[in-house]
Amino acid sequence: PPVSSSDPEVPAIFHRTVVEKKNFRATSEDSVYSMVDIVVVDIQLDATKPAFGEAEKGYCDITAFREGIRMLGQHINPECLVLVETTVPPGTCQKVVKPILEEEFTKRGIDISQNPPLVAHSYERVMPGSKYVSSIRDFWRVFSGVNQKSIDLCREFLSNVLNVENYPLTQLDNTNASELAKTMENSYRATNIALTLEWARFAEQIGVDIFKVRDAIRKRKGTHDNLLRPSLGVGGYCLTKDPVLANWAMGALFGVEGQLSVAINSVNINDTMPLHTIEIIKREMEELKNLRITVLG
């Protein structure tokens, strides 16, 4: 089939929407945005770090994201909801998306005092694998909007596509809060992992099995049972960049002085762990050339 997945729901969904209902369309034509009621924005937005150990100097290039939003502003109906699901620096919806849409609406002769842009933010929570679809549908979702109508439309949309009966929506005060929640959520995991990595290095040097130590600590249910495992580093790409997005936003979007020092230091620790892992292999093996290594996880 043209689309395959370890999750059996994925091909089933494509069969239902493409073959049976014929309501799935893929196109690169910008003009179709004028026909829709809701646009879900999921444009890749990365952080750039100049070197290992220098995450505090990282920055976010939002040029492509801006261009995508501008294109929407040139085509969408004023009543269309723009729902941002991209992980963005806190402040993006208020300070980037909304002003661009206002500018493009004004160019088109749309009175933004009567038809302000409708913008909401609800970040993705998804787990790749055999339950990919379920991890999106059957899980709690956070959202907010730049005005009440945006909030209402976002709630209505999410309530129609997610299992909100068993996993109720959480509405935050504004999009700044929703954007901050995503970057803080991932920064928490990154920091947790970095903590165990630091202690794992110490344990190695004094001959202690950090995994047994972790198991002993995790018996304190409710306070310490979420201590994560040390590993080759952090999985996926979210944890390698999200603290940098928030740290960049402090100065670039809000003009706030200072650093998210704990979160940023966790990125520096996690980034160097793959190199440390190679050093462990070098200590155990006389020669790396032609060595076959299996990485699990």
Which residue, 126, 120, 46, 55, is CA-closest to 89?
Answer: 46
The confidence score (pLDDT) of residue 3 equals 76
Give the pLDDT band of residue 58 (cuts 50, 70, 90): very high
- Residue by residue, DSSP assigns 12-23 as HHHIIIIIIS--
User: What is the CB neighbour count within 10 angstroms for residue 120?
Assistant: 30
CA distance 9 to 126: 14
The confidence score (pLDDT) of residue 1 equals 61
If you average pLDDT over residues 53-75, what whole number do you get?
96
| Token couple for 136 | 């999106």
* 165 & 187 share domain: no
In a domain, 1, yes or no: no
The residue written with tokens 């999106």 in the block is: 136
The confidence score (pLDDT) of residue 228 equals 92
The confidence score (pLDDT) of residue 59 equals 95
The confidence score (pLDDT) of residue 179 equals 98
pLDDT in tens, 109-142: 999 999 999 999 999 999 889 999 999 999 999 9
If you average pLDDT over residues 177-188, what whole number do you get?
97
CA distance 164 to 139: 8
* 196 & 154 share domain: no
175-209: b (≥16 Cβ within 10 Å) or e? bbebbbbbbeebbebbbbbbbbbebbeebeeeeee
Among 153, 174, 195, the domain boundary falls at 174
Tell me which long-range contacts 122-131 makes (C-beta under 8 A, separation of at least 24).
Answer: 122/83, 122/84, 122/85, 122/154, 122/158, 122/178, 123/85, 123/87, 123/178, 123/179, 123/181, 123/182, 124/42, 124/85, 124/87, 128/236, 129/6, 129/7, 130/6, 130/7, 130/8, 131/7
* 134 & 208 share domain: no
Question: Please, what is the average pLDDT of the chain?
Answer: 94
Among 174, 202, 232, the domain boundary falls at 174
The confidence score (pLDDT) of residue 297 equals 65
Among 142, 174, 206, the domain boundary falls at 174
In a domain, 294, yes or no: no
* 150 & 266 share domain: no
Q: Is the pLDDT of residue 175 over 90?
A: yes
The beta strand positions in 24-135, using DSSP E, are 38-41, 47-48, 59-60, 81-84, 118-121
- List C-alpha distances in Å: 241 to 46, 93, 124, 211: 7, 19, 15, 27
Q: Is the pLDDT of residue 220 over 80?
A: yes
Total domain count, the chain: 2
The confidence score (pLDDT) of residue 258 equals 94
Residue ranges making up the domain that contains 15:
9-174
The confidence score (pLDDT) of residue 9 equals 94
In a domain, 2, yes or no: no
In a domain, 295, yes or no: no
Write the CATH number for 37: 3.40.50.720
Which residue, 81, 110, 105, is CA-closest to 93?
Answer: 81
* 33 & 63 share domain: yes
